[in-house]
Amino acid sequence: VKILGSKKIELPKKLAKRYPAYELYLYGEGSYAEEHKILPLTGIPVLFLPGNAGSYKQVRSVGSIALRKAEDIDFKYHFDFFSVNFNEELVALYGGSLQKQTKFVHECIKTILKLYKGQEFAPKSVAIIGHSMGGLVARALLTLKNFKQDLINLLITQATPHVAPVLPLDRFITDFYMTVNNYWILNARHINLTTLSVAGGFRDYQVRSGLTFLPKLSHHTSALSVVSSAVPKTWVSTDHLSIVWCKQLQLTTIRAFFDLIDADTKQITQNPKKKLSVLNHHFIRHPAKHFEENPAIISDLTGI
């Protein structure tokens, strides 16, 4: 299957055999797709995880905008968008595949990072965007025995029901939720993964906003939960699927990504305070101007 030149990434034979239904793709279009037929890669890796019955092709919405933005700055920096094909499994209705998906994503992250071997600014971690159940699978990565937390530098979830399943139809799904949420709450002090959860608001009939809030205890400093209608420059509520395609929201996401780049490493910054201040700027308190590291005080109101 080709979407504007998307390239299927060859997985190690053992891995392909163990997960015959799943695949990993690198998104591309036009001349960018042609150039990236030759590895190794030189950009900043972002991995998109689709949700219940979701398609890996949904990465196009955010991937295309990121490419336009990179063109605007003459590819001084650019992002490489990867996407996992979960074979459009119905994980919200049957939770038996969730553990398998999580393990596959772990292998995908290791495979992605190998594609940058030998590069001057080779990344050591990936950013993840997860739609719906894809966001929960991303959080579940931390519960895997041999998973190194610093493989993920940022997690953005879109309309992900973090609190509880929308329909607890089987033990698999309820057990999976308990494992993930208990882990995040009990290990709160050791989890320093910057996480942003975006809810669709009143138009999302499938996942109500209350379910999208990250477990409160687990994050004193490194998590933000917002509703799309309150995101500056977005101001609209999205339904469960259109949150992936909402242009205003994807523009905000990509602006944040570019502001997160560390000029020295040419990768996403490792500084948790900088990550939070960038996300705060774009998703919460945007004063309609560019992000500044130390904004100057505009007026000093002394003596009033």
Please give the tally of structural domains in the chain: 1
Task: Give me the mean pLDDT over the 104-109 stretch.
Answer: 98
Q: Does residue 1 register a pLDDT over 50?
A: no
In a domain, 293, yes or no: no
Q: Using alpha carbons, select from 122, 43, 124 the residue that is nearest to residue 81.
A: 43
Q: CA–CA separation, 54 vs 51, rounded Å? A: 5
> Residue 303: pLDDT above 60?
yes
Beta strands 44-49; 23-26: pairing state? unpaired
Distance CA 177, CA 174 (A): 5
Task: Report residue 187 as tokens.
Answer: 């290990």
Q: Does 18 have pLDDT greater than 70?
A: yes
Residue 200, pLDDT score: 96
4 within a domain of the structure (yes/no): no
With beta carbons less than 8 A apart as the criterion, state whether 178 and 99 touch: no
Q: Which residues contact 217 (CB under 8 A, 6 or more apart)?
A: 185, 188
Structural domain span for residue 193: 42-284
Q: Higher-confidence residue: 140 or 187? A: 140
Q: What does the DSSP 8-state code read for residue 199?
A: E
Q: Which residues are catalytic?
A: 132
Q: What is the pLDDT of residue 190?
A: 86
pLDDT digits (tens, 9 = 90+) for 36-77: 556 678 899 999 999 999 999 999 999 999 999 999 999 899
Report pLDDT digits (tens) over 67-103. Answer: 999 999 998 999 999 999 999 999 999 999 999 999 9
28-32, 163-167, 295-299: least confidently modelled range:
295-299
137 and 98 in contact (C-beta within 8 Å)? yes
Residue 122 domain-assigned? yes
The reply to whether 17 falls in a domain is: no
Residue 297 lies inside a defined structural domain of this protein: no
Q: Is the dihedral of CA 151, 155, 160, 161 positive or negative?
A: positive
Dihedral class, residue 41 (left if φ above 0, else alpha if ψ from -120 to 50, else beta): beta
pLDDT (average), residues 244-268: 96
DSSP 8-state symbol, 205: S
CATH number for the domain that contains residue 175: 3.40.50.1820
Looking at residue 2, what is its pLDDT?
41
In a domain, 24, yes or no: no
Quick one: which of 30, 21, 92 has its CA closest to 56? Answer: 21
21 belongs to a structural domain:
no
Tell me the whole-structure pTM to 2 decimals.
0.92
pLDDT of residue 215: 75
- What is the torsional sign of CA 42, 44, 45, 48? negative
In this predicted structure, the answer to whether residue 207 has a pLDDT above a threshold of 90 is yes
Q: Kindly tell me if the per-residue pLDDT of 253 is higher than 50.
A: yes
Q: State yes or no: pLDDT of 129 exceeds 70.
A: yes
Q: What is the DSSP string of 5-55?
A: T-EEPPPPHHHHHH-TT-EEEE---HHHHHHTTSSSP-SEEEEEE--TT--
141 in any annotated domain: yes
